[in-house]
Chain A
Amino acid sequence: MAEPQHPIDAWACPAPLPASDRVLLGHGSGGKLTAELIRDLFLPAFDNPVLARLDDQAIVSINGQRLAFTTDSFVVKPLFFPGGDIGSLAVYGTVNDLAMGGAQPLFLSVAFILEEGLPMQTLRRVTASLRQAASCVGVEVVTGDTKVVEKGSGDGLFLNTSGLGVVPEGVELSAARVRPGDRVLLSGSIGEHGIAILAQREGLEFDSPVESDSAPLHTLVASMLAASKSIRCLRDPTRGGLSSALNEIAARAGVGIEIDERAIPVREDVKGACELLGLDPLYVANEGKLVAIVAPEAAETVLEAMRRHPLGKDAALIGTVTEAHPRMVTMRTVVGPTRVVDMLAGDQLPRIC
């Protein structure tokens, strides 16, 4: 390289930062930092074959009965948002993690972590919502726990829920079963939960407010499973959005995935909010949607079954599993060319530029 002769030739990059010695918010965003944390810290610590599958739930066999077991924590802010609240979200989120394993959800535990000073009325409202959501799904809260932390050590109210369900005979859903040629189905429009939450924080108003899509998916899953035996894998694209769910599947199965941007349903209001804040709906959270990978010959049948269910009425075929570019998700853009759909490194931030 020639000697720098002009100031602009000396343009260089800033020094790298050492790997973080503190937990960052991005470690909980469901993107790459979360994946790294699991890979580098948790998996080696708890090394076992059930955990290593890294599906949304663990499937364990006891006396020949296959049980699905999962746990999830909820730290949503605000606690109450259009279309839901932390209580119903906790129930549905846990139920959905079980449902993605094809399980019939049965029992839940609920642990409350409360901040000193939380209005009792808030706690009552959340509890009532929890109870209503559980009874609507048909699960029972059979155990629980309460802890109170000092004012300033928590953010009002956190919930942890664990769920237990049974997996019907013959049902086996796992990313490991995905094969090239399989089709990718999406149960409806993306981004509504993330935007509903963000709207409250950002002071966005909506003509008709964007409601979180928070909903229990177990009956949708049951009707899909009844329609076809050729469903390979289900995922609910929560934190990190559709891109994270697809990247996870591609990575676990060692396959590539190709999607078509024009086929992905996004509501006009969600689109508007994303344009305004510089966000990509592919990375925005959902709480009532699922991605299904199905054998090619079953795609049409499963799609029809999804569309007959109210939670899948906007279901769409959005892509194909490929042998090419393993562990990578690509997308044909609205104007034609193809690009990579990467997993997010940390939280998606509103950008000004």
Chain B
Amino acid sequence: MCLAVPGKILEIEDRDGNRVGKVQFGGVTRQVFLNFVPEAAAGDYVMVHVGFAISRVDAEEAQRSYELLQAMGMLEEELGGEAERTS
């Protein structure tokens, strides 16, 4: 269900009482409603579903968890290597 895509906020404006942002996805930008992410600022990434941002991507958490994932990967390569040598 629920396709949501990460995009970067380029600029934010108030349009008829709505918080509307220009959000970039790869090389594409689209107008996105930012009413649900009052904390998001230009430069932030948001997850966008049917034209609405539903969360601000937590850059620190993303970085931390990705580094963890990579560390697991490197560990696995070492372990995998050992397993191969011992087998």
Q: Is chain B in direct contact with chain A in the complex (CB below 8 A)? A: yes
Which A residues form the contact surface with B (CB < 8 A)? 199, 202-208, 210, 267-273, 275-276, 278, 351-353
Of A208, A275, A278, the contact of B26 (CB 8 Å cutoff): A275
Of B1, B5, B7, B48, the contact of A353 (CB 8 Å cutoff): B1
A327 to B41, CA, bound (A): 51
Interfacial chain B residues near A210, Cβ < 8 Å: 27-28
A352 touching B31, Cβ below 8 Å:
no
B31 touching A203, Cβ below 8 Å:
yes
Please name the residue on chain B nearest to A199 by beta carbon: B28
A271 touching B26, Cβ below 8 Å:
yes
Interface hits, B8-35 → A, CB 8 Å: 22, 24-31
B30 touching A267, Cβ below 8 Å:
no
Of B2, B29, B49, the contact of A204 (CB 8 Å cutoff): B29
B26 touching A204, Cβ below 8 Å:
no
A275 touching B5, Cβ below 8 Å:
yes
Please name the residue on chain A nearest to B23 by beta carbon: A276
Interfacial chain B residues near A203, Cβ < 8 Å: 30-31
A276 touching B50, Cβ below 8 Å:
no
> Knowing A275-B25, A278-B3, A352-B2 touch, does A204 contact B50 (C-beta < 8 A)?
no
A352 touching B50, Cβ below 8 Å:
yes
B26 touching A269, Cβ below 8 Å:
yes
Residue of B3, B26, B29, B48 with most chain A CB atoms under a 10 A cut-off: B26
Interfacial chain A residues near B50, Cβ < 8 Å: 352
17 residue pairs of the A-B complex, CB under 8 angstroms, read A199-B28, A202-B30, A203-B30, A204-B30, A205-B29, A268-B27, A269-B26, A272-B24, A272-B26, A272-B27, A272-B28, A273-B25, A273-B26, A275-B5, A275-B25, A276-B30, A353-B2
Closest Cβ–Cβ distance, residue A1 to chain B (whole Å): 28
B5 touching A276, Cβ below 8 Å:
yes
A204 to B31, CA, bound (A): 8
Closest Cβ–Cβ distance, residue A306 to chain B (whole Å): 25
The 8 closest A-B pairs by CB, nearest first: A272-B26, A269-B27, A272-B28, A272-B25, A353-B1, A268-B27, A205-B29, A268-B26
Give the interface size class of chain B: 10 to 19
B24 touching A207, Cβ below 8 Å:
yes
B30 touching A208, Cβ below 8 Å:
no
> Knowing A352-B49, A352-B50 touch, does A204 contact B3 (C-beta < 8 A)?
no
Closest Cβ–Cβ distance, residue B6 to chain A (whole Å): 9
Residue of A202, A268, A275 with most chain B CB atoms under a 10 A cut-off: A275
Please name the residue on chain A nearest to B27 by beta carbon: A269
A351 touching B24, Cβ below 8 Å:
no
A39 to B2, CA, bound (A): 37
A276 touching B24, Cβ below 8 Å:
no
Interfacial chain B residues near A202, Cβ < 8 Å: 30
B25 touching A276, Cβ below 8 Å:
yes
A276 to B24, CA, bound (A): 10
Interfacial chain A residues near B24, Cβ < 8 Å: 207, 272
Known: A202-B30, A203-B30, A204-B30. 7 other contacts (CB 8 A): A206-B29, A210-B28, A269-B28, A271-B26, A276-B30, A353-B2, A353-B3
Closest Cβ–Cβ distance, residue B26 to chain A (whole Å): 2
A205 to B29, CA, bound (A): 5
